[in-house]
Amino acid sequence: MPLPDDRSPKRGEELVPPEAVLLVNPVEPEFKGEVDDKYQYSNENKDLKVHGWISSKSETDPPMGFWGELVKCPAATARIGLKNEAKALAALKNHSEAERRRRERINGHFATLRGLVPSTEKMFLSAHYAGEDIVLKLQPNEPWKKVFGPTFFYLNKTLLDSEDPLDLWEDAKYQMTKEVQSWPYDFPASEDFQKSNQRGSVSGTLLVRDRCLFDEDIFAEGAYIGLAPPGDAGSWQRECKGYQFWTRADFEGNFSIDNIRSGDYNLYAWVPGFIGEYWSNVVLTITPDPNPKYINKLYVNHPDKFRQYGLWERYADLYPNEDLIYTVGVSDFSQDWFFAQVTRKNDDGSYRGTTWQIKFDLDEVKASGIYKLRLALASAHFAELQVRVNDQKQNPPLFTTGVIGKDYAIARHGIHGLYWLFNIDVPGLLLKEKDNTIHLTQTIATDPLAPFHGIMYDYIRLEAPNPSLPE
């Protein structure tokens, strides 16, 4: 390949852009007339698996390979790719071995290459192939945190009597497959780097509906499908603050993404050969399975996942900032309703009660009528359930169960204890047209059994006054 001196004014002619140089009088004549340009070696993130250089063999030293995340040194410059979760434009963006270097003139890079001390440099965010739209922008006092890495480097060398230095290339590719299988690593000590047991997965099938071409839906073969922070169609392209996870669908449109960091995402996709892209505005909340520290393998991949120990601790993971809010007609009880209304653990180790909200619309309200709220409980353990309507601070509450239950079903991995049914009168004056909220507060959080104070719901229904009866 061309040598650093080949780019000097006496041997090369700078073109536009200046990264491109026409080799007029190279040290090795075989390169005369070629254009040397770092961007000729760029690649898509999704295809950037192993990239590297191998040093030349000398009388005393065998060839050596230097493989890692964008290395520049006399012997090698290379990359072993793992996951792209921290990268912007994770599925598509072009990258070159020089792309993450500082934006200095290319001759400066070659001066470094000619130095005695190998150096490496990595830019975690770059505007290359995207422009300023992908530059990280933070508002004043806006908090932001993101984990990049770990970054993997790999050195290998041949024996002096080896005939084929390309053995290093094959070895590097093999090492890459091992590292991919090890992701996410389990050794990082930072709490911000989620281990595999703190991550979740999604799977599904994507179909294409194009009435101009096909009478029926067809499989989205080869579709690019990914999870990125909630936004709009195409917003993943400019998203660089959060994490993204991408894959490709098989020939029947099936896809699966594993080891997704817990959090909220939208699903994005596009299919080669079809205009436009797919975007689901449904927020997907990714959560891990039960803490493997306590896991019972009997109930892994089994319908009775409620048998796993410690599920009550998951409430704060799923709802870290506010308690559960369920919107009738929008939320799905199978995904958006926690199995029990339990307590919340405070930072100091104490516990406090929780208030769940049920939001719903009413087209009309009979202000003089009496509505009936029916609460069927599947379980209760040292719990007090207070009910309020459209006023979370209502004192006294509209209704309270008082302290009920001693079935301990939450701690004993049950799905029910004793059955309780409460029929609560709700004056129509408390309701309003359009937006309404029922507040359900479980108040008791007494140590040492505070994690198990709670309620399991079986059925909740609000009935309007019977129109055939006088008000």
SS (H, E, C) 38-69: HHHHCEEHHHCCEECEECCCCCCCCCEEEECC
Count, in order, helices (H) and strands (E) of the chain. Answer: 4, 29
| pLDDT score recorded for residue 294 | 47
Per-residue pLDDT of the chain (471 residues), as tens digits, is 788 889 899 999 998 788 889 999 999 999 998 888 877 777 677 777 777 778 877 777 788 888 864 322 222 223 344 556 766 555 554 443 333 333 233 333 443 343 333 445 566 777 777 777 888 899 999 999 999 888 888 898 887 666 688 888 889 889 988 888 888 988 999 989 998 888 888 899 999 988 878 889 999 999 999 999 999 998 998 898 999 999 999 999 999 999 999 999 999 999 988 888 899 999 988 877 655 554 444 444 545 555 566 677 788 888 888 999 999 999 988 888 998 999 998 888 889 999 999 999 999 999 989 999 999 998 999 899 999 999 999 999 999 999 998 888 888 778 888 889 999 999 999 999 999 999 999 999 987 788 889 999 999 999 999 776 655
* CA-atom Rg of the chain in angstroms: 30
Give the separation between CA 423 and CA 399, rounded to whole angstroms: 10
Give the separation between CA 240 and CA 142, rounded to whole angstroms: 15
| pLDDT score recorded for residue 86 | 65
| pLDDT score recorded for residue 279 | 92
Q: Which two tokens stand for residue 246?
A: 């991408």
23, 36 Cβ separation under 8 angstroms: yes
| pLDDT score recorded for residue 138 | 93
Residues 6+ apart with CB under 8 A from 116: none
Closest of 44, 51, 26 to residue 36, by C-alpha? 26
Which strand ranges, in their side-by-side order, compose the sheet holding 21-23? 12-14, 21-23, 35-36
| pLDDT score recorded for residue 448 | 78
Strand 12-14 and strand 64-67: the pairing is: unpaired
0.95 exceeded by pTM: no
Q: Which two tokens stand for residue 419?
A: 């059955």
| pLDDT score recorded for residue 419 | 87
Strand 254-261 and strand 199-205: the pairing is: antiparallel
373 DSSP 8-state letter: E
Three-class secondary structure of residue 346 per DSSP: coil
Give the separation between CA 27 and CA 117, rounded to whole angstroms: 23
| pLDDT score recorded for residue 341 | 93
Amino acid at 47: D
| pLDDT score recorded for residue 222 | 95
Buried b / exposed e across 151-170, counting CB within 10 Å, b at 16+? Answer: ebebebbbeeeeeebebbbe
